[in-house]
Structure 1
């Protein structure tokens, strides 16, 4: 392959590592024949379909069941745990198989940006589908729908927010974490915002309701503006501030580009975002078509989140899990259980993903999965504790698990374009430049299968 061809495939590979979950070897030839702009447009085109999660069949009122006798309560909690586990596994499998990779990658971003925990699987699924539906659309619509979702209203106590007894939790996080960021509002702004959101809640069926008798309809002063504001007005005022665009773009830069933001590039992103009326697609196209996105300092420098690592491995090797429960064991071992962020600020990401324990598992998981081996989940919660992960982390138990996986080696090997060198295969699998250690693996391996298993079991494979 010519130098220009390798340079192009390098850029396409980088695009797929950030805007998707990695470039499959079978897609390398097709993708490599595209220009960067064509590859970007292709990712957006393939991500147009919105396929919602649809595994939790309906809402169950928790209070009604928890007030029943002990046996009924126990059966209900068991069913709840099964639904939570099913929802988690279903989403991982969707990310691992869908062509709408960009939509799912951005759904994962919004899942962490609007971090939320609920013991109600129906509410969790509903919120996740809001993230997915709006993932590439209007941030204003996304923000409004999240603010009215029962999972968020419950998590941040806005169900209890009423006139004369305002609850400030949602108002505070709306500004600190979801929109404008610290330093751009006062404690008084939080109090006034909370008053505007009084009465926002949900019915037993999970439908949003603005409860007029509980709403404070007096005049409020918020970020220098005064009026009889409602929650929708507060959202409009927050979006009128350029600081909100800067806050979102700074966070998105860390997710898609580099852990160390470039102020000039973030400002350019914010200009596009703000001037488009907070449309997400123009912002993403601006990033993915920018020359600076493909600069060497931005290539192979981000640590894959646990979910990105698992999903990327699944996609590259077409892995079928005969025991899907092991997916959640992987998530727990690596520190990212979907639908269970550590707090409202979400997973901190970056270097926080790696410690001595998680790195050990990251290195061991690929070879175990690709050889249907046994892995020891030492000191992790029992698989039946999903519903109580926050409290069960203190329960120590050694679990030896047969992963029961079936990678499709025939499809993987047959998907490698003819006459592709081993070095090229390695360059597609590994994001950073191939160092001496990696080249030694390439040259000494007895065959391609042995080579790729060893390559994906290296620390370099943890980077994208």
Structure 2
């Protein structure tokens, strides 16, 4: 029976790997060593301790003769800067470096909120500074309240532009945002039961919600500051707001929201609407299904729906939509560790294909990839390494653009039946995924061309992280224990060993080469073989899973 009962035992390596991968983008041997032996509850408490971003804001090092610098805090108008598309890429680089600099659940939850309230940065999201504000809003509420996020995102400048709600006026309604608010962001459709009529809402409800959202405006100056977050926000033009009452259908018990006339009262009206929508059990279930798909597994059966999703939804409602308690319940449960049935190896651990973001982050953190420091070498980090290599090459060739999914619904891996996370891996994405490790080892962009200004030293990694590196069998099994969700068998060990020792030679040939390196510090021989081994192990099927 699927169970949300907590797993109270101390975590071994296998379970620690599982929880660390699913909760953070910063995954390394040092972190594993730190967390092994903790209980899930203690580990989650550590992973949710308050953190401070390494980078407070992004930096644009171009033009080199007079950099735009910290343009997001400039007093100049946001739309007065050139190369705004590139700047939005630099905002993504700011976020990623912060995620790589902390071992924290915050960044995984922040990205989860992005999948729930998607704004695609390169598809009509307004100035880059507004996208920076959008990501800061998600970071601010990563441990917060989903109802509050739903209200704040409505006033977010990037969202106002992205889904056209800034064009929504009482005399000229625009239903785009209201439609997506129901269909994608909150309650979801449910089954269609008639023309324009779904299980969870109707077309009439969308029309009434559009009236609630009328008069909300994009502020191109960023001068309006939200008092709760300190982040720039949109504003309300009360003259363009529909002040008449809004009555919803039977799907919402024919609730009537009295129209308001002042900006403060209109925000109260928004609060009443959000409260009405979040009072529906299906809204809570929709979020819990998204959480399950994001953290646990993309598909599930009726038992999981009844024993995991439904009680999580009940907890979410009881907590008035505070997200962190529900996430902790799920991630510390026996079910999450596949310990709620007789076979603990058949369902959860290793069941998700890594996203390009996870694959990149885990590779860089585990192998201690040295990439340029944005605080001391901003031009090389932002422009050469992140923007040209990662943003414009790796992410695109691996099937996505970071923070810019092609569909309003978001990334297909999180919503598109029947493949879900299998969408990450296909014949179209394999080049980007497989050549990432080759690029990091060589220091050259093996996907297209050019230097990437980052380096992965396989010899140094093995020397610092693999205690029994002179024994080729132990070297491989110890590496596999770090890299893969599950241990590998003898056949796989022998396969990978062929990259270290030619088949016709005994194991001591590798032992001799490794010991010679340790005594002479000449890594020429071992580097060639370790480069090949690491490439093979990272590009193996086992590393594509978490």
Q: Counterpart of 1:463?
A: 545
Partner-residue secondary structure (3-state), 1:357: coil
Q: Counterpart of 1:189?
A: 205
Partner-residue secondary structure (3-state), 1:291: coil
Contact 1:96 1:312 (8 Å CA) reproduced: no
Pick the aligned partner of 2:246 from 193, 217, 220.
Answer: 220
CA distance in 1, matches of 2:479, 2:244: 65
Pick the aligned partner of 2:113 from 105, 110, 114.
Answer: 110
Cα deviations across residues 10-39 of structure 1 (Å, max 9, x unaligned)?
111000111112631123222213222222
Partner-residue secondary structure (3-state), 2:364: helix
Q: Counterpart of 1:382?
A: none
TM-fit CA distance, 1:48: 4.3
Contact 2:187 2:283 (8 Å CA) reproduced: yes
Q: Counterpart of 1:246?
A: 285
| Higher-RCO chain (CA-CA 8 Å, sequence separation at least 6) | 1
User: What does 1:311-350 correspond to in 2, within 5 Å?
Assistant: 311-321=361-371, 322=380, 323-324=384-385, 325-328=388-391, 329-349=393-413, 350=421
Structure having the larger proportion of residues in helix: 1
Matched, 1:12 2:11: no
CA distance in 2, matches of 1:51, 1:194: 40
Contact 1:21 1:312 (8 Å CA) reproduced: yes
Cα deviations across residues 384-426 of structure 1 (Å, max 9, x unaligned)?
xxxxxxxxxxxxxxxx233332235576345427459431331
User: What does 1:337-376 correspond to in 2, within 5 Å?
Assistant: 337-349=401-413, 350-376=421-447
CA distance in 2, matches of 1:104, 1:415: 27
Unaligned stretches of 5+ residues in structure 1: 66-75, 378-399
CA distance in 2, matches of 1:348, 1:437: 35
Matched, 1:273 2:336: no
Cα deviations across residues 133-152 of structure 1 (Å, max 9, x unaligned)?
10111112222111110110
Structure 1, 182-191 or 156-165: larger mean CA deviation: 156-165
Question: Would the alpha carbon gap of residues 22 and 456 (structure 1) be closer, same or farther in structure 2, given more than 3 Å must change?
Answer: farther
Matched, 1:199 2:219: no
Partner-residue secondary structure (3-state), 2:119: coil
TM-fit CA distance, 1:440: 2.5
User: What does 1:139-158 correspond to in 2, within 5 Å?
Assistant: 139-158=146-165
Q: With the length of structure 1 as denominator, give the TM-score of the two structures.
A: 0.85
TM-fit CA distance, 1:105: 1.1
Partner-residue secondary structure (3-state), 1:26: helix
Pick the aligned partner of 1:291 from 326, 334, 352.
Answer: 334
Cα deviations across residues 65-91 of structure 1 (Å, max 9, x unaligned)?
6xxxxxxxxxx543x234223212222
CA distance in 2, matches of 1:428, 1:214: 58
Contact 1:115 1:344 (8 Å CA) reproduced: yes
RMSD: 2.5
Asked which structure has the greater CA Rg, the reply is: 2
Q: With the length of structure 2 as denominator, give the TM-score of the two structures.
A: 0.72
CA distance in 2, matches of 1:417, 1:276: 45
Pick the aligned partner of 2:488 from 434, 438, 450.
Answer: 434
Unaligned stretches of 5+ residues in structure 2: 1-8, 59-70, 191-199, 225-233, 260-268, 339-344, 372-379, 414-420, 501-525
Question: Would the alpha carbon gap of residues 13 and 22 (structure 1) be closer, same or farther in structure 2, given more than 3 Å must change?
Answer: farther
Number of aligned residues: 424
